[in-house]
């Protein structure tokens, strides 16, 4: 098992736990918790594979993802009171997860022959759409639509990955530097409460005032 695959499994585990915690707070039953954990962990990759018509879809081609999600759900039920307060730890796992999924999605798009910009979009889709599905199914406004630099960190990471690939750096260096960039951008954004501007009024409206 190589480094990136191990991080992929770790990210899947962390995403599944975050989904299970959200579903648990919503008082979902066991089946509901499994579904939310599942879509959170592999929803982004599944949407990416459907969009580019890649088969088999990520979790269908590798059952380790399914077992990882089920283990995460069991882990959440057994240790919910212990892991729920660990917001900083879960934030780190979540951030590493989106970084790993960003570069994996981007690389998969490139290897599939997509235009580099479309591959970048596939990287972002891989990283954030699982969280979007989780929030929609639990009747919450998706995080990426209301606050925090989340998807932008993934977008920048994917672009950086393209640059490193163009420079012909070793693949491990590409992976590590991309992950570091996404983690740093997201951490700095959250620490200093950086947000993208919101459209509150049009420019001409302000000029008239």
Helical spans, DSSP H, in 26-148 = 30-51, 58-61, 64-83, 87-111, 116-137, 143-146
| More confident: 61 or 81 | 61
Cβ proximity of 146 and 127 under 8 Å: no
Cβ proximity of 72 and 107 under 8 Å: no
Band (94; pLDDT cuts 50, 70, 90): confident
Alpha carbon distance 86, 82 (integer Å): 7
CA atoms within 13 A on the CB side of 182: 32
Cβ proximity of 73 and 37 under 8 Å: yes
| Percent of the chain residues topping a pLDDT of 90 | 63
* pTM across the whole model: 0.88
- Does the structure show a pLDDT above 90 at 113? yes
Band (197; pLDDT cuts 50, 70, 90): confident
- Does the structure show a pLDDT above 80 at 88? no
pLDDT of residue 11: 83
Cβ proximity of 62 and 31 under 8 Å: no
- Distances in Å between the Cα of 54 and the Cα atoms of 4, 61, 153 are 20, 11, 25
């Amino acid at each position: 098992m190589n480094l990136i695959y191990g991080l992929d499994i770790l990210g899947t585990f962390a995403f599944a736990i975050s989904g299970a915690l959200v579903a648990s707070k919503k008082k979902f039953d066991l089946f509901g918790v499994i579904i939310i954990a599942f879509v959170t962990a592999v929803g982004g990759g599944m949407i990416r594979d459907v969009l580019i018509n890649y088969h088999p879809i990520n979790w269908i081609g590798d059952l380790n993802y399914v077992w990882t999600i089920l283990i995460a759900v069991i882990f959440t039920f057994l240790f919910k009171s212990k892991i729920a307060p660990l917001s900083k730890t879960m934030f780190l796992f979540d951030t590493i997860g989106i970084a790993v999924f960003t570069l994996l999605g981007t690389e998969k798009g490139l290897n599939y022959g997509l235009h580099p910009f479309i591959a970048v979009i596939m990287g972002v889709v891989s990283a954030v759409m699982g969280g979007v599905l989780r929030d929609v199914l639990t009747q919450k406004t998706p995080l990426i639509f209301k606050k925090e630099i989340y998807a932008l960190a993934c977008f920048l990471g994917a672009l950086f990955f393209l640059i490193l690939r163009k420079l012909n750096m070793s693949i491990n260096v590409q992976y590590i530097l991309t992950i570091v960039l996404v983690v740093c951008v997201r951490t700095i954004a959250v620490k200093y409460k950086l947000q993208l501007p919101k459209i509150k009024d049009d420019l001409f409206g302000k000029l008239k005032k």
